Amino acid sequence: MRLATLLMYDGNPRSAADQVVTLEKAGLDSVWVAEAYGFDSPTLMGYLAAKTDTIQIGSGILNIYSRTPGALLQTAAGLDNVSGGRAILGIGVSGPQVIEGFHGVPYKKPMARTQEVVEIIRSGLKREPLTANGEFHLPLTKDDGAVTGLGKPLKLLTKPERDTIPIWIAALGPKNVEQTAEIADGWIPHLFHPEKAHLVWGDALATGNAKRQEGLAPLQVMAGGMVAIGEGPETKALLDFARPIFALYVGGMGAKGKNFYNDVARSYGYEKEAEEIQDLYLSGKKKEAEALIPTEWLEAANLVGPESYVKERIAAFREAGVTDLNITPVSDDPAATVAQVKEWVS
């Protein structure tokens, strides 16, 4: 099992990125940079590439609506070059709240767009002309090869560091997860509950893997949460630090009926809580919403407690198919925490 972390920052991404150098030396295998509707991810990934030597650098995630497929190709190739072949392209459809509410573009046909983006990036890295005849990339061609767009298909101008870059997809809906298992190198599920994951996504993963594209290695899976190792109630109390992020996604990332994270909470069996959390969050009562996040879920999704318990959680994530344990150390010495967990997962 490899060890990953999501770059966390509260106002100054440079200082957070600088800490990754220490975590790399402690044994961290990959760092992932979120974008959402804050700073862009590629800028910070390029900064990390210059600061580090061996760690893989992933986008966690770039949405597939606010950039064209060609632009995503350029970003993947550019990052892979400046990092010396250490890039991972994490992509996803995000959700209507971010795509329409921040980027101002229509959120439509997520699976068709995902398929097209993956195809274009993979062919583009091999410096093949971008001739995909889909809905989201021009120029389109007729059956006789005549160009109907504004220009002839072009190939990537510069030679990529590698002609293949791992493409990971963040997906939650059953159909999206099935597609991910079929076409992606890796899967990024959010708010992952190891003991309940198979109930939600087991069938979708099995169906997608049965159709998995020839030449792809087995699907990799990244999931995890906070890590705090220690005895006593003060350690368990650290779980409360996770409540705001759970409440944000379950309650605030979309309107009623259009929140995929709320759907996941319901699929885990937290229907009543999901309904109440969303009502409270959307009405501005965020603290009340946070208080309703099931403690059982927080305990399962994070690794907080005595050493023996943290090892049990690692085993649970491994049993659930997780290949890359994504941890957020909560301690006075994050590097020491990374080194300790690295020893346990190796």
Q: What are the extents of the domains in the chain? A: 2-227+302-345
Q: What is the pLDDT of residue 147?
A: 53
Q: What is the pLDDT of residue 133?
A: 60
Could you read off the pLDDT of 275-332 as tens digits, one per residue? Answer: 999 999 999 999 999 999 999 999 999 999 999 999 999 999 999 999 999 999 999 9
pTM confidence score? 0.94
Does the pLDDT at position 137 exceed 70? no
The whole-angstrom separation of Cα 277 and Cα 286 is 8
Could you read off the pLDDT of 188-222 as tens digits, one per residue? Answer: 999 999 999 999 999 999 999 999 999 999 999 99
Backbone angles phi, psi at 319, to 5 degrees: -65, -30
**3-state secondary structure string across the chain:** CEEEEECCCCCCHHHHHHHHHHHHHHCCCEEEECCCCCCCHHHHHHHHHHHCCCCEEEECCEECCCCCHHHHHHHHHHHHHHCCCCEEEEEECCCHHHHHHCCCCCCCCHHHHHHHHHHHHHHHHCCCCCCCCCCCCCCCECCCCCECCCCCCCCCCCCCCCCCCCEEEECCCHHHHHHHHHHCCEEECCCCCCCCHHHHHHHHHHHHHHCCCCCCCCCEEEECCEEEECCCHHHHHHHHHHHHHHHHHHHHCCCCCCCHHHHHHHHCCCHHHHHHHHHHHHCCCHHHHHHCCCHHHHHHHCEEECHHHHHHHHHHHHHCCCCEEECEECCCCHHHHHHHHHHHHC
CATH number for the domain running over 2-227+302-345: 3.20.20.30
What is the mean predicted confidence (pLDDT) over 35-48?
Answer: 92
Q: Is residue 65 classed exposed, middle or buried when 0-12, 13-18 and 19+ CB atoms within 10 A define those classes? A: buried
What is the mean predicted confidence (pLDDT) over 226-243?
Answer: 95
Q: What is the pLDDT of residue 14?
A: 84
Find the angle CA(232)-CA(233)-CA(235) to the nearest 5 degrees: 75
Going by C-beta distance under 8 Å and a sequence separation of 6 or more, which residues neighbour residue 226?
238, 239, 241, 242, 302, 303, 304, 327, 328, 329, 330
Question: Of the candidates 18, 71, 60, which has an alpha carbon nearest to the alpha carbon of residue 35?
Answer: 60
The dihedral region occupied by 58, where left means phi > 0, alpha psi between -120 and 50, and beta the remainder, is: beta
pLDDT over 70, % of the chain: 93
Q: How high is the mean pLDDT of the chain?
A: 93
Instruction: Find residue 141's DSSP bridge partners.
Output: 147
The whole-angstrom separation of Cα 51 and Cα 35 is 20
What is the mean predicted confidence (pLDDT) over 256-273?
Answer: 96
Does the pLDDT at position 124 exceed 60? yes
Q: Which two tokens stand for residue 171?
A: 């997906």
The whole-angstrom separation of Cα 336 and Cα 317 is 21
Residue 105: Cβ within 10 Å count: 11
The whole-angstrom separation of Cα 169 and Cα 37 is 18
> Which is more confidently placed, 99 or 146?
99
The whole-angstrom separation of Cα 186 and Cα 180 is 8
Could you read off the pLDDT of 86-118 as tens digits, one per residue? Answer: 999 999 999 888 999 999 999 999 999 999 999
Are 313 and 3 in contact by the 8 Å Cβ rule? The answer is no
Does the pLDDT at position 156 exceed 80? yes
